A and B are shown apart, each in its own frame.
Chain A
Amino acid sequence: MSDFDLIVIGAGPGGYVAAIRASQLGLKTAIVERENLGGICLNWGCIPTKALLKSGEVYEQLGHLDAYGLSVTGRSFDFAKVVERSRGVAKQLTAGVAFLMKKHKIEVIEGAAKLEKGQGAPKVVVALKAGGSRTVTAKSVILATGARARTIPAIGAVPDGKAIWAYREALTPKACPKSLVVIGSGAIGIEFASFYRALGAEVTVVEAVDRIMPVEDEEISKAAQKAFEKRGIKFRVGAKVSKVEKTKGGVSVAVEAGGKAETLEAEVCIVAVGIAANTEDLGLEALGLKLDRGHVVADKHGATNVAGLYAIGDVAGAPWLAHKAMHDGVHCVEHIAGVKTPTVTAPVPGCTYANPQVASVGLTEAAAKAAGHEVKVGRFPFKVNGKAIAASETEGFAKTVFDAKTGALLGAHMIGHEVTEMIQGYTIAMTMEGTEEDLFATVFPHPTMSEAMHEAALDAFGKPLHI
């Protein structure tokens, strides 16, 4: 007899949510965590960065109060307090997860798990934090071990905690660096660039692809670069980093772009060149678990090639987003519990909390065309949106991509103030398989910035009202 119905390995957003859902469905559940409940997201990712970014945003806004007819003297910040607040937020939420585990009677096993061949699902051997080891068995095991920052040792892009940082170091620095090179312009790189720039650092972002935020729509990339440059962030796109070296004053980053070599000197370099799945030291090789480019191969229910073993979230591949891991986790557990779930095509939105924010869901215009869709594209700028003007937040726009034949909303892309809070509107429309008619017919409240979303849909069909 197994000790549990389900053991979840990893208590990040994917793992702990899966455990809660399993408990709700009556499964006797345990969760193994080697570090902190809440995983990277709560402790070293999504949440603490949002705390820092808010501090940065407020500080930056204090410098532009004249737009509102206000003024302030003696604008300053206490960097240690800014970081402390961020840590406090993480701590509060981690405690929240502990409470949720307790509430749902989920046994939390603190330690590092290793899988061994068992009868049915693999056995889980935990090297306990408190010392000793404990072997537990379950009918099903979910691997939710997540991922970590990718490093590139060949060029010296390995965090040392002093001059070369990854996200962890970037979240808990002792002081705000005066100058900074960020390698990688994905969400993580851009958010740190935005935060440190807000506090006055000289920031240069190096991106290998020919545009920043390469997963976003090209028009968004372009608008984002322009907006960030306006704030004083510098960019090197289509630029290859050939060497990261520590220097006396900090770090030097050798960059090649368009055949030209350049060395960027800075106090600190942040490496944000993607992530690597946490698949090591778990005994996966011995189980014969199938991996693809470092990620566990799992089907749409999370099932792997090993009986009784499932994988969800970052360890199972892109997109590496907490909300995708949570969604996967719930779906996987419902599948394990035999709950019949309806067919839903749920596109996964992506958000970047820089200033300005970027949010998107579904296909970019180029991806839609590449997939063979004949498209209709609409755009609406916030600079003619009443609420945006009233709030002096007129930067950015909303863009929609529709299938010209079926009217299906294929994708939506936004840049601007708090667009991350708005993207779910388009996401609901896509999840419910809405068409342009549904967006036309939806009454958007006035005055809100979300009216631009309505207009962007109307514009795709040549009938915007306010432009």
Chain B
Amino acid sequence: MSIEILMPALSPTMEEGSLAKWHVKVGDTVKAGDVIAEIETDKATMEVEAVDEGTVEALLVDAGTEGVKVNAPIARLSGDDAAPAPKAEAPKAEDKPEPKADKPPPPAAPSQAAGETGATSKAPPAPVSASGDRVMASPLARRLAQAAGLDLAAIKGSGPHGRVVKADVDAARGKAPAAPASAGEAAPATAAPRQTQTLAQMGIPDGSYDLVPLDGMRKTIARRMTDSFRDIPHFPLTIDLEIDGLLAARAKINAMLEKDGGKVSVNDLVLKAVAVALKRVPEANASYSPEGIAMHHHADIAMAVAIDGGLITPIIRKADTKGLAQIAAEAKDLAGRARDRKLKPEEFQGGTFSVSNLGMMGIKSFASIINEPQGCIMSVGAGEQRPVVKNGELAIATVMTVTLTCDHRVVDGAIGSKFLQVFKSLIEDPLTMIV
């Protein structure tokens, strides 16, 4: 009896992924828990473990195949009750081209958003089923499925000649699990089509550049940032912080931690201060939803980590309940594993507040784009010696500029300012963080 191994969903919102690497070949015997493949999603590379025992009969998807739909068969195992396939036959199986899903259906074009562009956008291309046949569907069903992010090929048609009609899509939509509101991933349906000109139309001739294909992460960044910047009424609030006191405290702390091999960065102190400030100003720890404003119980702080080919925002959960040393240790661990692309989805999905720090790159100040559905993102600039006026006299202080980008639907100017005032007092008098 053969067991089909299906493309796993590594996160609730994952729709497709790339099969980065196979760890097994045809004929290999696997047992439950063995790593059989690596799957690359938008943001991370994950190992796929075998759930059943058996012999690998066939690999249905080549390593390096992009856009493999969740739940598409990727390999076939012969069950443990069957004799392992004779060795002689195994290579044959490998030579024989299996029906491969290496030409997956084109990723659904970003569907239309509500509003006037909605109905005027071009009809979506006819979807293709796994077997390559055109899926029969009414024009309306096609459009509704696309808007809902449903795969037409997976919907059973009840119309004439098995055509998928509106009623079928409605039924499928009723059954489909709703995307969790807290998940950081926006459903692809919310991405609106943007009629962009080609580079050639904009005066950059073909052949004058190399085209780097968009990988999953790039697509996600492009989609989420576009949606956020366009759809969220955001505004920046900027404040200067004197951090001489903070630096002195950090030196003391690090001297104490030195023998344990621990170390605390300015960023760790910023994360701690944010956590405390969010606890004191809970209105800034909130998310907008059409049903109401979600007041988060904990400060789950996402920190932007630059990695090869993009960035990712691993999350320090319940930072409001954690001490500085623990925050520092977690931040270090998460950043390291983020660079190795070894984060688990739950480690980078969600979060209630983001911190992005470009201080180490010498950036004086900047304003980040809101990381949906969070209410705020803090952009931390470089700490540098600047002339300041104190008691009517010119003096020197180490100053760091931070900018808070706020989602005005949740965080008004007064709330954002209140949060920054508390944050400033914590940073400028780090002892108060302990209290």
Contact = CB atoms under 8 A, between A and B. Distances in A.
29 contacts: A343-B158, A343-B159, A343-B165, A343-B167, A343-B168, A344-B165, A345-B167, A403-B119, A404-B119, A405-B114, A405-B147, A406-B118, A406-B119, A406-B143, A406-B144, A406-B147, A407-B120, A407-B143, A408-B140, A408-B166, A433-B139, A434-B138, A434-B140, A435-B139, A435-B143, A436-B120, A437-B139, A461-B119, A461-B120
Contacts of B118: 404-407
B100 interface: no
B116 A435 contact: no
Contacts of A345: 165-167
Given A404-B118, A406-B143, A433-B165, 9 more contacts: A342-B161, A343-B167, A376-B119, A402-B119, A406-B140, A434-B140, A435-B139, A437-B122, A461-B120
Nearest to B166: A433
Nearest to B113: A405
Nearest to A405: B118
A292 B315 CA distance: 61
A342 B160 contact: yes
Contacts of A436: 119-120
Interface in B145-159: 147, 158-159
B336 to A, nearest CB: 46
B426 to A, nearest CB: 47
A342 B162 CA distance: 8
Contacts of A344: 159-160, 165
B123 interface: yes
A435 B140 contact: yes
A433 B118 CA distance: 17
A403 B123 CA distance: 15
A356 to B, nearest CB: 30
A342 B119 contact: no
Contact of B163 (A342, A374, A376, A404): A342
B30 interface: no
A63 B158 CA distance: 54
B140 A433 contact: yes
Interface of A: 342-345, 374, 376, 402-408, 432-438, 461
A305 to B, nearest CB: 25
Given A403-B119, A436-B119, A461-B120, A342 B159 contact: yes
Contacts of A406: 118-119, 140, 143-144, 147
Interface in B291-307: none
Interface residues of B, number: 25
A103 to B, nearest CB: 28
B141 interface: yes
Contacts of A438: 139
Find the residue from B120, B163, B166 having the highest chain A CB count within 10 A.
Answer: B120
B155 to A, nearest CB: 12
A435 B123 contact: yes
Contacts of A437: 122-123, 139
A134 B115 CA distance: 65
A435 B119 CA distance: 8
A432 B166 CA distance: 10
Nearest to B123: A437
A345 B140 CA distance: 12
Interface string B193-226: 0000000000000000000000000000000000
Interface string B161-184: 101011110000000000000000
The 3 A-B residue pairs with the shortest CB-CB distance, nearest first, are A433-B138, A407-B119, A433-B140
A434 B142 CA distance: 10
Nearest to B165: A343
A202 to B, nearest CB: 48
Interface in B106-145: 112, 114-116, 118-120, 122-123, 138-141, 143-144
Contacts of B141: 433
Contacts of A432: 138-139
A393 B160 CA distance: 38
Nearest to B141: A433
Contacts of A461: 119-120
Nearest to B118: A405
B27 to A, nearest CB: 46
B291 to A, nearest CB: 18
Find the residue from A342, A374, A402 having the highest chain B CB count within 10 A.
Answer: A342
A255 to B, nearest CB: 45
Contacts of B166: 345, 408, 433
Contacts of A403: 119
Interface string B339-357: 0000000000000000000
A408 B166 CA distance: 10
Find the residue from A374, A405, A432, A461 having the highest chain B CB count within 10 A.
Answer: A405
Contacts of A434: 138-140
B75 to A, nearest CB: 36
Contacts of A435: 119, 123, 139-140, 143
Contacts of B160: 342, 344
A58 B122 CA distance: 46
A342 B141 CA distance: 15
Contacts of A402: 119
